[in-house]
Amino acid sequence: MPAAEMPAEEPKPTETEVPEITHVMKPKYGDGKAQTIHDQMSDKTAPEKRAYGGDEYANGRYERPFLAEDMEYLPFIDILRTDMYRDDDDVWAYVSIEVISAPSLAGDKDLSFGVEIDEDLDGRGDLFILAKNPVDSSWSTDGVQIWRDINGNIGDVEPMKPDAMGAGDGYEVNVFDEGLGNDADMAWVRLSSESDAVVEIAFKLDMIPKTKDAYIFLWGAWTFAGDPHLEWFDHHDTFALAEAGSPLKDNDNYPLKQFEAADNTCRGLSGMEPSGKLPGMCPYTPPQTTHSDPGDSCVPIDCCPSAMLGCSMMWDSALCQCVSIN
């Protein structure tokens, strides 16, 4: 009589080995001059459960530091200003994002801070650096990701303008995840040591293709409370305004609905002096320059009118003209 066959043993689950991350280079912080972008704030009108302004939905400018429906104000994602510094050797770029209230006051809300980069100045975002709320002032890759739009469908037909709803899939490929990727040192985050309301993000410039032997790109800052939903980019191609809602009380689509708890800035041009309007770029007024004739005294002029966001010019008294600072 044949022996009874023993049942086959269940295969034992194998443990997935977590790759060891070795950091070679940490940010040192920018020694260049700042390029500053100021943003609309909503703190003064928050008691009225509305934004003061700045939400230009059709143009991709959003002022939405509120929760949907009840319009609870979220000062810890309301951007006051953002600054970019670049090292003189063009290895690192640093973006500081200052908000109205310290992110530590957010309680159990999950906060994220981001930098969107347009590599070829066409209005379509190419890279998105996303960082979870840092816990201290030490540089860390914890909670830092870089996402790329590989298929190039952000912006749909006309970048920075509303197109067919649901036309794209946003930033769909994660190319850096807390040190995992082609370069373990590609992006970092920390809280500023000078202010608990400032988050600093550092990233290597060589993730951006060079143009004319220089890193030239448009950049802007973002903040989120809750899921950042990178698949929604660009938001005005994903939701009609009636679906997204509006933070402006005089708008028929008030209050916020499907697109809530986010803020962004216009985009600054880094690596060259603007020569005209680019999609998504901050309002730009060509700076005046003046040259003195021999023997004349040099009369300084205002290179950055107060209405000019993202100005990258300063007065050089030696040359007696406005020069680029970035």
The tens digit of pLDDT for each residue in 116-155 reads: 999 999 999 999 999 999 999 999 999 999 999 999 999 9
State which amino acid sits at residue 7.
P
State which amino acid sits at residue 9.
E
Q: In this model, does residue 306 exceed pLDDT 50?
A: no
What is the Cα gyration radius of the chain?
Answer: 23
Say whether the peptide bond before residue 234 is cis (omega within 30 degrees of 0). yes
In the chain, what is the straight-line distance between the N-terminal and C-terminal CA atoms, in Å?
Answer: 88
Tell me how far apart the alpha carbons of residues 248 and 52 are, in angstroms, rounded to a whole number.
7
The closest alpha carbon to 203, from 223, 183, 222, belongs to 183
Q: Give the single-character DSSP code of 293.
A: P
Q: Give the single-character DSSP code of 140.
A: B
Most confident of 1-15, 166-180, 193-207: 193-207
211: pLDDT confidence band, cut at 50, 70 and 90?
Answer: confident
- Coil, strand or helix at 170: coil
Q: In this model, does residue 106 exceed pLDDT 70?
A: yes
Tell me how far apart the alpha carbons of residues 264 and 222 are, in angstroms, rounded to a whole number.
4
Of residues 236 and 32, more confidence is placed in 236
The tens digit of pLDDT for each residue in 31-79 reads: 678 899 999 999 999 999 999 999 999 999 999 999 999 999 999 999 9
* 127 within 8 A of 144, measured Cβ to Cβ: no
88: pLDDT confidence band, cut at 50, 70 and 90?
Answer: confident
